[in-house]
Amino acid sequence: MSEQQDVCNDKELVARTIKQLFQRYNVSIKTGAFTSLVEIVLSITNHQATSTKLKATAIKQINQILQLRDYASKHYDIYMNLAWGRGYIFTVAQSIDDYICAYHEFGCDFHPPSWAHFVYHSQDIWHNDYMEELNSEL
């Protein structure tokens, strides 16, 4: 099998794995985010990575996206509920975009508080600690 065929097979395996996340949460795969996530996984693994390593890396990225969403949901919900109304939901689609943005800044050093701060601070979205402090002063 040629190196080009190997790359195509690797890309297909990663795409199938990541597609499961998009389907589970009803996120369109016809976005640049899907392609970006596939490229991120392929860039993390080397060219001779086994299919097991590729799939494990893709699953790790999926889990990190969900961790980022969970972190944001728990630590930025006060601001978002005030800005957008009670019951604001941090979607997986938004978390995928946030993850890609932060990944380009930090690389493989996944740290939910830092990544969320990087994404939300630049949008002027405040952490719950600050919102609670602000509310207590009022």
pLDDT, position 33: 95
| Amino acid, single-letter form, for residue 129 | D
Segments forming the whole domain that contains residue 131: 3-137
CB 57 within 8 A of CB 74: no
Number of domains in the chain: 1
pLDDT digits (tens, 9 = 90+) for 6-25: 667 899 999 999 999 999 99
How does residue 94 score in pLDDT terms, banded at 50, 70 and 90? very high
Q: Which residue has the higher pLDDT, 3 or 92?
A: 92
Decide if pLDDT at 122 tops 70. yes
Please provide the average confidence, as pLDDT, over all residues in the chain: 90
pLDDT digits (tens, 9 = 90+) for 22-73: 999 999 999 899 999 999 999 998 777 899 999 999 999 999 999 999 999 9
CB 55 within 8 A of CB 13: yes
Q: Give the Å distances, CA to CA, from 9 to 31, 50, 53.
A: 21, 11, 13
